[in-house]
Chain A
């Protein structure tokens, strides 16, 4: 990726979590900063300008969502929100307040590293033009030609199905909330979450070999959708 070691700020007040995160992140080439309170997280974010922030929403001194809001006032560093299952509304609130992605506790290291890499890549890409061609497994999407192939065979999509894919490609690897997608697909409003779900369902039946077990277009239950990060 970059020559310099990327810095990850881990904000979590659980010692046990910090203990496993530091060695696994360091082993994978990251410099790790730790904060166990919202206040120290904000101070470290100002002083050290981390490349990625991993933010647990339950902190002893302040609401994690407030930390996120304060961060976003001056920083555009990618923030990955960490929260437990069953707290989907927190995840949605986090995405609405400018988080880039989320991780559900408990998570494995592979998942964590994948999220961090996607977040870093997006931060890098934000400065440049997006890649015009997305490739993941047997799926290929060309944004300049507005064409889609599955196993080298061109796929016919409706304009709306294509718009959905294009929107997801721009955020490939990251979760895109239902709300964000609806804004993109129906800018004048007037649609429903059901219409989005039907659209995703139909699109899956065009671009997935086995739509019930999608390999490209994943559902994030009760939050939104994720198009897998493109092949390296």
Chain B
């Protein structure tokens, strides 16, 4: 890195010298100084003090050696040139000092911005997650304490309360699972990829979300002879569970269509609902962490995890609006070699 800075300074000096040879006819001797000063400015803008100083010195030496008579010696005939050299060196130093400072300040500002961004992300994570954790907990505690106070024997509503406890605990389970898998992915744990029929993985996701789907119509269109794809079955199931949960949340009463097709480079899987669809600016944003479409419930984690998992598999996921209304989530999974 350091060596590279000096090498750049030397290269720039060589370039300036070449330029000066070309301009020798057109310019007065003292004007060539400007060319070297520009060179020093370029080096200094890279933001390192050492190479900038080196460039200033090199400029003076090259100017002296190649152009100041007697040429091709470091010897100087007229003392006026000594003043030229001193001024040239001083100007080069000032330029490089200022340029380096501008550069370091810009870098510091950028760093501060990154820190602020991380901080913002962290606090939104905290508020989203804590909200998502507290809501089901509040429902569970509320329902359980109501049941405890109720007269023994139970009533019609006690069954509702029990169902509420179970459903909210299921929701909590899915959230915790999402958080654990995100953390695992972010910590760089390797995927356990093996070749699977996609139907098998979609099937386990459908089974896992049976209660959530609560009898909603799910149409599947999965040709029997689709190629196997290399996936981590646990993570890919999580992707499908999140897409199903997303559809249930945003398109509560509409049917869900799941299909897969073979493509040139692998498999395309589509989850299409008949909900309100997405606004144009939401098509990309839905995959951002903690982004929630139209103030919908949820931590805004599910689709972000989908994206992270699909990309970790070398695939891609995108959202589109569906002709006739609703949203489609399309994911492509590369066929690739397994493992």
Interface set of A (CB-CB < 8 Å, partner B):
85-86, 88, 106, 108, 193-194, 197-198, 200-202, 205, 210-214, 218-219, 221-222
B172-205 interface mask toward A, CB cutoff 8 Å, 1 = contact, 0 = none? Answer: 0100010011000000000010111101111110
Interface status of B207 (Cβ within 8 A of chain A)? yes
Min CB–CB distance B115 → chain A (angstroms): 33
Q: Among B173, B194, B202, which residue has its beta carbon within 8 angstroms of that of A212?
A: B202
Interface status of B206 (Cβ within 8 A of chain A)? yes
Which residues of chain A are within 8 angstroms of B125 by Cβ–Cβ distance?
none
Q: Among A193, A210, A219, A222, which residue has its beta carbon within 8 angstroms of that of B220?
A: A210
14 A-B residue pairings within 8 Å (CB atoms): A86-B180, A106-B169, A108-B166, A193-B194, A194-B194, A194-B228, A197-B195, A197-B196, A197-B200, A197-B228, A201-B199, A202-B224, A205-B224, A214-B203
Cα–Cα, bound, A202→B225 (Å): 9
Cα–Cα, bound, A214→B228 (Å): 19
Check if B220 sits within 8 Å of A221, measured CB to CB.
Answer: no
Residue ID in chain B nearest A178 by CB atoms: B194
Interface status of B62 (Cβ within 8 A of chain A)? no
List 14 additional contacts besides A194-B195, A219-B204; criterion CB under 8 Å. Answer: A86-B177, A193-B194, A193-B195, A194-B194, A201-B197, A211-B199, A212-B203, A212-B258, A213-B203, A213-B206, A221-B204, A221-B233, A221-B234, A222-B234
Which residues of chain A are within 8 angstroms of B200 by Cβ–Cβ distance?
197, 200-201, 219
Cα–Cα, bound, A201→B258 (Å): 18
Cα–Cα, bound, A202→B224 (Å): 8
Cα–Cα, bound, A106→B220 (Å): 28
Which residues of chain A are within 8 angstroms of B338 by Cβ–Cβ distance?
194
Cα–Cα, bound, A204→B283 (Å): 37
Cα–Cα, bound, A214→B201 (Å): 12
Which 8 A-B residue pairs are closest in the complex by CB-CB distance?
Answer: A201-B197, A194-B195, A212-B220, A212-B203, A221-B204, A221-B233, A212-B199, A222-B233
Interface set of B (CB-CB < 8 Å, partner A):
166, 169, 173, 177, 180-181, 192, 194-197, 199-204, 206-207, 220, 222, 224, 228, 233-234, 237, 258, 338
Which residues of chain A are within 8 angstroms of B258 by Cβ–Cβ distance?
212
Residue ID in chain B nearest A88 by CB atoms: B234
Which residues of chain B are within 8 angstroms of A210 by Cβ–Cβ distance?
220
Q: Among B202, B207, B220, which residue has its beta carbon within 8 angstroms of that of A218?
A: B207
Which residues of chain B are within 8 angstroms of A202 by Cβ–Cβ distance?
224
Residue ID in chain A nearest B170 by CB atoms: A106
Which residues of chain B are within 8 angstroms of A85 by Cβ–Cβ distance?
177
Which residues of chain A are within 8 angstroms of B177 by Cβ–Cβ distance?
85-86
Cα–Cα, bound, A31→B144 (Å): 27
Check if B207 sits within 8 Å of A213, measured CB to CB.
Answer: yes
Would A219 and B224 be within 8 Å (CB), given that A85-B177, A197-B196, A197-B197 are in contact?
no
Which residues of chain B are within 8 angstroms of A214 by Cβ–Cβ distance?
203
Check if B234 sits within 8 Å of A198, measured CB to CB.
Answer: no
Cα–Cα, bound, A88→B192 (Å): 11
Which residues of chain B are within 8 angstroms of A201 by Cβ–Cβ distance?
197, 199-200, 224
Which residues of chain A are within 8 angstroms of B203 by Cβ–Cβ distance?
211-214, 219
Which residues of chain B are within 8 angstroms of A193 by Cβ–Cβ distance?
194-195
Which residues of chain A are within 8 angstroms of B207 by Cβ–Cβ distance?
213, 218
Cα–Cα, bound, A221→B224 (Å): 20
Cα–Cα, bound, A201→B222 (Å): 12
Cα–Cα, bound, A202→B196 (Å): 13
Cα–Cα, bound, A205→B166 (Å): 34
Min CB–CB distance B201 → chain A (angstroms): 8
